[in-house]
């Protein structure tokens, strides 16, 4: 049998991590070899995720896992405080990172890119692995050329630590490639409650972050021009929506040695 791709998952017990474990276990060419989390240490991850043992015990140190096991790809869904450190550690140990955790700064992305290029190891970071969300971003980028004003409303569950979402930031970046300044004709504004107009990008796209229990990941891009508006909306109703993109990325980094930011670059 052909060698399977050896996968480690960091944040394995989290909401995304558990979905990733199930998705990896369902693929014949992927083999789960490590599950890393700070909770449930020593327990079988299969018992936690699918109520049946899979023989992989949860460990709490990514570094120990990288040093003691053969790992090809690490899929990271942890938290914004940890993701930079994890990405660098993965590359330093010769494994390939597939990063879903959001919250990386521009400088941190640059540093990860530099290390991936120095080591000639594939790395993929995607603020959104759902194909529909990637299409939403692409459509918004295309529409930005024709609309003078744009605002983004992103909606997530109330346990999300970073705001605005990585998807909203990436959408605004793509739209700014088409138009350097939005809302040029807006009048000067006074916010009666601070933050009412949301976060504002350098290109003057206003981003509004909603956090409510029950939501997963949703985004609306509203573009305006004289006498018309265009609304582009994507909803992830279930974390399963991210899994085809995650699996595709794990396979991609095995075959390609470049640094990639955004799933649209491999679709
Ligand atoms: N790129 C995408 O498509 C996408 C989709 C959804 C969520 N996300 C992002 O993924 C991240 C995780 O989201 P979630 O909803 O699964 O969060 P979560 O809080 O449910 O899971 C995070 C997990 O990381 C674990 N963890 C915390 N510190 C750790 C450490 N030091 N070592 C190992 N594990 C540690 C936690 O115990 C938890 O199990 C967030 O940044 C979120 O924004 C990205």
Instruction: Give nearest CA residue, ligand 1 atom 33.
Output: 37
Same domain, 217 and 147: yes
pLDDT band at 117 (very low <50, low <70, confident <90, very high): very high
Res 20: pLDDT = 98
Res 211: pLDDT = 98
Mean local confidence (pLDDT), 67-88: 97
Same domain, 227 and 255: no
Residue 104 Cα to ligand 1 middle (Å): 13
Query: Is the beta carbon of 262 within 6 A of some atom in ligand 1?
Result: no
The domain that contains 203 carries what CATH number?
A: 3.30.360.10
Same domain, 13 and 101: yes
Q: Which of 14, 209, 244 to mutate to test the pocket of ligand 1 (most atoms within 8 A of CB)?
A: 14
Mean local confidence (pLDDT), 235-253: 97
Query: Is the beta carbon of 137 within 6 A of some atom in ligand 1?
Result: no
Q: Which of 36, 100, 219 to mutate to test the pocket of ligand 1 (most atoms within 8 A of CB)?
A: 100
Same domain, 146 and 226: yes
Instruction: Give nearest CA residue, ligand 1 atom 25.
Output: 11
Same domain, 13 and 115: yes
Mean pLDDT of the chain: 96
Mean local confidence (pLDDT), 13-28: 97
Same domain, 93 and 159: no
Interacting residues of 115 by C-beta distance below 8 A, sequence separation 6+? 88, 91, 92
Query: Is the beta carbon of 72 within 6 A of some atom in ligand 1?
Result: no
Res 19: pLDDT = 97
pLDDT band at 29 (very low <50, low <70, confident <90, very high): very high
Query: Is the beta carbon of 89 within 6 A of some atom in ligand 1?
Result: no
The domain that contains 246 carries what CATH number?
A: 3.40.50.720
Same domain, 26 and 97: yes
Instruction: Give nearest CA residue, ligand 1 atom 43.
Output: 102
Res 267: pLDDT = 86
Atom of ligand 1 nearest to the CA of 242: 3
Mean local confidence (pLDDT), 93-116: 97
The residue segments making up the domain with residue 160 are 131-236
pTM for this model (two decimals) = 0.90
Query: Is the beta carbon of 38 within 6 A of some atom in ligand 1?
Result: yes
Same domain, 259 and 152: no
Same domain, 89 and 221: no
Query: Is the beta carbon of 100 within 6 A of some atom in ligand 1?
Result: yes
Res 1: pLDDT = 60
Count of domains forming the chain: 2
Atom of ligand 1 nearest to the CA of 18: 16
Same domain, 121 and 226: no
Same domain, 188 and 257: no
Q: Per residue in 160-194, pLDDT tens?
A: 999 999 999 999 999 999 999 999 999 999 999 99
Query: Is the beta carbon of 14 within 6 A of some atom in ligand 1?
Result: yes
CA–CA distances in Å: residue 115 to residues 68, 119, 122, 132, 161: 22, 6, 10, 30, 26
Same domain, 26 and 82: yes
Instruction: Give nearest CA residue, ligand 1 atom 40.
Output: 101
Q: Which of 8, 45, 58, 78 to mutate to test the pocket of ligand 1 (most atoms within 8 A of CB)?
A: 78
């Amino acid at each position: 049998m052909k060698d399977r791709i050896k996968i480690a998952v960091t944040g394995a017990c989290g909401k995304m991590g558990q979905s990733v474990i199930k998705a990896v276990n369902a693929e014949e060419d992927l083999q789960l070899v490590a599950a890393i989390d700070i909770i449930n240490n020593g327990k079988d991850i299969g018992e936690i995720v699918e109520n049946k043992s899979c023989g992989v015990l949860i460990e709490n140190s990514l570094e120990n896992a990288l040093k003691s096991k053969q790992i090809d790809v690490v899929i990271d869904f942890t938290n914004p405080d940890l993701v930079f450190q994890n990405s660098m550690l993965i590359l330093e140990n010769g494994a390939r990172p597939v990063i879903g955790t959001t919250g990386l700064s521009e400088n941190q992305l640059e540093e990860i890119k530099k290390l991936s290029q120095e080591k000639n190891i594939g790395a993929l970071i995607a603020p959104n692995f759902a194909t529909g969300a990637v299409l939403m971003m692409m459509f918004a980028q295309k529409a930005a050329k024709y609309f003078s004003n744009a605002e983004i409303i992103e909606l997530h569950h109330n346990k999300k630590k970073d705001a605005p979402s990585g998807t909203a930031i990436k959408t605004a970046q793509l739209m700014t490639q088409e138009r350097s300044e939005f809302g040029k004709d807006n009048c000067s504004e006074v916010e009666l409650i601070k933050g009412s107009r949301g976060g504002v990008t350098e290109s003057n796209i206003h981003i509004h972050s909603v956090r409510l229990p029950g939501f997963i990941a949703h985004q609306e891009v509203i573009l305006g021009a004289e006498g018309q508006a265009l609304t582009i909306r994507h909803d992830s109703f279930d974390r399963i929506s991210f899994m085809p993109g995650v699996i595709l990325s794990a396979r991609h980094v095995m075959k390609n040695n470049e640094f990639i930011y955004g799933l649209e670059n491999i679709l």
